[in-house]
Amino acid sequence: MKMKLSEIARVVGAHYAVPDPVAPTVTGVAFDTRKLHPGDLFVPITGERDGHDFIGAAERAGAVATFVQAGHAPVSTALPQLVVPDPLKALNDLARYYLLMKVNPKVVAITGSNGKTTTKDMTAAILATQYHVIKTQDNYNNEIGVPMTILSMDTNTEVLVVEMGMDRPGQLDALSKLVEPDVAVITMIGEAHIEFFKTRDKIADAKMEITHGLKEDGLFIYNGDEPLLRERAKQVDQDQKTFGLNPDNILYARDIVAGETKTDFSLSRWPDLRFSIPMMGEWNVANALAAILVGRRFHIKPEAIQAALKDFPVTKNRTQWVTGDAGEPILSDVYNANPTAMKAVLNDFAEFPCRGRRIAVLGDMLELGDASAALHASVAAALDPQKIQEVYLYGDEIVALRDELAKKYAPTHLHYFPKGEQRHLIVALEDHIVHDDLVMLKASHGLHLEKVLQALIEGAE
């Protein structure tokens, strides 16, 4: 972006704390001084710390101006200060203005309990074969991240692919109305955040908020294998297309062949074309179907879609294979976890060729609320001692799965470590894993299994 500070002040309804005759040019926006670049406008957001405490650091890092919340102004700084009622709202107002008045791209908004990041990456890769595309980076998918993504666009951006997360009702409503998508996508409804929403029905209601800002001539794309979405889609007036693995969808997959590092499939629409994605799992095929429907909305040819999916760049820390210090292959999925995703990965893992033992290392799935014990126990259905010979469990919530697995696993093959005993878990794994074993790690990010992964890669000191 490139805007005069005076224009920004007008857009967000700010006034200067101290008269500023210069009105510098702003070339970016930052809310974290560690990521601030010279020329940025600093946005002091209050979270665990008050962002106003970092205005001095922003000045030293090269900021050219700062928002200041009314009540704090004026602060002690040489920076021009734009006084606003709420810096976060001002950030959103600025992002909306920049989106609509400065760039005006087509917008694809994507949400879902699982798969939204992968679907975003696939969609961006497909659209990039024909358009200049900007997509959400990292985990910038909330009320701070979405406006930051918007303000990161070049003025020649033709399509913005924006990921939207949520952890409370109303959040997607606000984000959807901010970006006014041309295409809205829901990948699936799972149990993520069920602690806050209590039921999958309420999760579905909240996910449907992504359609609240959908343009009148927009397209709603959703997983037609989910009855909760089919029911709610009847209330959406815009055009709709469904995807899934069942043949009653507009686009469905067939002849799926899943491997350790890629999955091949055919489509109902173009039976002569064979598609491939560099990821494991049927659930990722469903994500690809959503991306394909978006591509067709933008008139991307099937052959170009096929080529884009074959080697699209995958966001770091998603399901990936690495090699441990003993030479063992490790399937790492330590970014997040919920029961649906965990069972899906375990089902695939159980079928991969293995000369030694299959070893599953599983940690707590967070934010499951009152249903946590039952949902953790439900994962036992995907664990067969004949296929996954060793199970290591880490955390407090996962005790329910341990108790359920004790009914079919011998004590010598079922290992439990309470949260706080991660080092003991690492030592036990290092002592028992050998070259021919196949290892899998999955848990919510709050369990920090990435430290276990790093230890297995680096080996004992």
Domains of the chain: 3-84 (3.40.1390.10), 105-310 (3.40.1190.10), 320-458 (3.90.190.20)
All residues at 6 or more sequence positions from 433 whose CB lies less than 8 Å from its CB, including other chains: 324, 326, 328, 359, 439, 456
DSSP, res 129: T
All residues at 6 or more sequence positions from 271 whose CB lies less than 8 Å from its CB, including other chains: none
Helix or strand holding residue 392 (H, E): strand 390-394
The whole-chain average pLDDT of the chain stands at: 93
136 is in an annotated binding site: no
459 is in an annotated binding site: no
pLDDT, tens digit, 9 for 90 and up, residues 3-56: 999 999 999 999 999 887 778 999 999 999 999 999 999 999 988 899 999 999
DSSP, res 21: S
Q: How far from 358 is each of 257, 330, 383, CA to CA, in Å?
A: 21, 10, 11
Cβ atoms 193, 367 nearer than 8 A? yes
223 is in an annotated binding site: no
118 is in an annotated binding site: yes
Per-residue pLDDT, averaged over 208-217, amounts to: 98
261 is in an annotated binding site: no
Return the amino acid letter for 354.
Answer: C
Per-residue pLDDT, averaged over 339-362, amounts to: 93
Three-state DSSP at 362 gives strand
Share of the chain above pLDDT 70, in %: 97
170 is in an annotated binding site: no
Per-residue pLDDT, averaged over 250-269, amounts to: 92
Lowest mean pLDDT segment, chosen from 73-77, 134-138, 222-226, 451-455: 73-77
pLDDT, tens digit, 9 for 90 and up, residues 113-169: 888 999 999 999 999 999 999 999 988 999 999 999 999 999 999 999 999 999 889
For tokens 């984000």, the residue is: 175
d(CA 123, CA 117) in angstroms, rounded, equals 10
Q: How sure is the predictor about 194, in pLDDT bands with cuts at 50, 70 and 90? A: low
Report pLDDT for 23. 81
Q: Is the pLDDT of residue 369 over 90?
A: no
Report pLDDT for 193. 61
Q: Is the pLDDT of residue 460 over 60?
A: no
Q: Is the pLDDT of residue 461 over 80?
A: no
- DSSP output for 285-322: HHHHHHHHHHHHHTT--HHHHHHHHHTPPPPTTSSEEE
pLDDT, tens digit, 9 for 90 and up, residues 48-61: 899 999 999 999 99
d(CA 205, CA 90) in angstroms, rounded, equals 28
Cβ atoms 187, 206 nearer than 8 A? no
Q: How sure is the predictor about 283, in pLDDT bands with cuts at 50, 70 and 90? A: confident
117 is in an annotated binding site: yes
Q: How sure is the predictor about 317, in pLDDT bands with cuts at 50, 70 and 90? A: low
